[in-house]
Structure 1
Amino acid sequence: MIQISLRESKHSDTENIANLRAMVLREDLTRLGRYDEEKVRQRFRDSFDPDHTWIIEAEPAFVGCVAFKPATEGYLLEHFYIHPHYQGQGIGGHVLNTLLGQADLQGSKVRLNVLQGSSARRLYERFGFEVDSEDSVDIFMSRKANGTIAHDDNNAR
């Protein structure tokens, strides 16, 4: 696996992340009839919190991001995007191991949502996430702290 690192995001990362989001979600949102070139970026801009968003770097290129926000019942995992060129190289699994390890140490639950039909669902299920509810667009999942973290070579989208 390539060497990766996480760094805290800054406001100056906003457009790079918004553009990555549009690229990564395009196929799934198009399939769901929900892709809009500007809305996909604006939705990220509206919820971006640099204090809880990490930039994923490798070689030292920008390859992705993930937000891990404190929530009422633990953490909310969102905006987890890996550039398509770097998907399938174990980066997503490595990042999940790191974040879920932190949540497990604190005994915290982690929640997320994934688009219907997204291949990322399989990754999350391998890491112990279970479906709580779903609608025509999103699947809402959660994982209780359990101290057992899967090892995975696939990545989230």
Structure 2
Amino acid sequence: MADILSRLSLQPVDSSDFEAMLALRIDAMRPSLERVGRFDLDRSRERLQAGFVVPYMHHIALDGDQRIGFVTLKPEGSDALRLDHLYLRTGFQGLGIGEWVLE
């Protein structure tokens, strides 16, 4: 697991990244939402659009160019951040990457 963590980086998001990030969010959330009967493509789009604030978003990249997730951390007061989004592609969940991002 430590090997994969050493290969991660956070990279800036551009407004043109929206559709790719939506696809990633759907990949990350669809299986669990379908299990509970709550997957809705339009709702997924709306939720991401509502929180799509480029300056507070970062791609989670593996080996510099493989985008495996993204995180949104927004300022909350003068000394705190609020986690709005943290999504990882299927296959990259449960490897300690979320913990790495939050550290």
Q: Bigger CA drift: 62-71 or 40-49?
A: 40-49
* Partner in structure 2 of residue 48 of structure 1: 52
1:61 aligns with 2:66: yes
- Quote how far apart the aligned CAs of 1:43 are: 1.6
Uncovered stretches (5+) of structure 2, i.e. residues with no partner: none
CA–CA distance in 2 between the matches of 1:41 and 1:23?
13
Q: Tell me by how many angstroms 1:33 deviates.
A: 2.7
Between Structure 1 and Structure 2, how many residues are aligned? 97
**Unaligned residue ranges in structure 1 (runs of 5+):** 98-157
For residue 74 of structure 1, the aligned residue among 68, 71, 80 is 80
Preserved contact between residue 19 and residue 41 of structure 1 (Cα < 8 Å) = no
- For residues 67 and 53 of structure 1, the distance between their equivalents in structure 2, rounded to whole angstroms, comes to 4
Q: Which residue is 2:15 aligned to?
A: 11
Displacement of 1:86: 1.9
- 1:1-157 superposed matches below 5 A: 1-2=3-4, 3-59=7-63, 60-72=65-77, 74-97=80-103
Using the TM superposition, give the Cα deviation of residue 18 of structure 1 relative to its aligned residue in structure 2, in angstroms: 0.9
Question: What secondary structure, in the 3-state scheme, does the structure 2 residue paired with 1:85 have?
Answer: coil
For 2:69 and 2:38, the matched residues in 1 are separated by 22
* Aligned residue identity for 1:30: E
TM-score (norm 1): 0.56
Corresponding letter in the other structure for 1:63: I
Q: Specify the code of the residue in structure 1 equivalent to 2:46.
A: Q
Post-superposition shift, 1:57?
0.4
Q: Which has the larger radius of gyration?
A: 1
- C-alpha displacement at 1:74, in angstroms? 2.2
Contact 1:18–1:42, Cα closer than 8 Å, also in 2: no
Q: Distance in 2 between matches of 1:23 and 1:84?
A: 6
Identity %: 33
Q: Which has the higher contact order (CA 8 A, sep 6+)?
A: 2
Indicate the structure with greater helix content. 2
Determine helix, strand or coil for the equivalent of 1:38. helix
Which residue identity is paired with 2:84?
E
